[in-house]
Amino acid sequence: MKSLVSLTAGAIAVALVSAADGAMIAGWSITTAFPTGAGNVPTGQTYSVGAADQGDQTAGSSLSSYHTLAAATYTSPAGNGSQYAFSSNNWSIGDYYEARVSTSNYSNISVSWDQARSSTGPASFELIFSVDGGTSWTTVAAYTVLQSGGGGAPGTWSSTTYNALYSSSQALAGAEDASLLIVRFRSLVTAAAAGSSRIDNVVISGDVVPAPGAVALLAVAGLVSRRRR
**pLDDT band of 212, cuts 50, 70, 90:** low
Classify residue 88 by its DSSP letter.
E
**pLDDT band of 208, cuts 50, 70, 90:** very high
Distance between CA 8 and CA 226 in Å, rounded?
A: 12
Report pTM: 0.84
Structural domains present in the chain? 22-209 (2.60.120.260)
User: Helices marked H in the chain — which ranges?
Assistant: 2-20, 212-228
Q: Which long-range contacts (CB under 8 A, 24 or more apart) does 171-174 make?
A: 171/108, 171/109, 171/110, 171/140, 172/109, 172/110, 172/111, 172/129, 172/138, 172/140, 174/131, 174/138
Distance between CA 87 and CA 84 in Å, rounded?
A: 9
Handedness of CA 141, 190, 149, 52 (dihedral sign): positive
The answer, yes or no, to whether residue 6 has pLDDT greater than 60, is no
**pLDDT band of 211, cuts 50, 70, 90:** confident
Which residues 6+ apart lie within 8 Å of 185 measured at CB?
Answer: 96, 97, 98, 113, 115, 125, 126, 127, 199
CA angle 131, 133, 71 (to 5 degrees): 120
Answer whether 212's CB lies under 8 Å from 14's CB.
no
Q: Express each pLDDT in 159-187 by its tens digit.
A: 999 999 999 999 999 999 999 999 999 99
**pLDDT band of 21, cuts 50, 70, 90:** low
Compute the mean pLDDT over every residue in the chain, rounded to the nearest whole number.
87
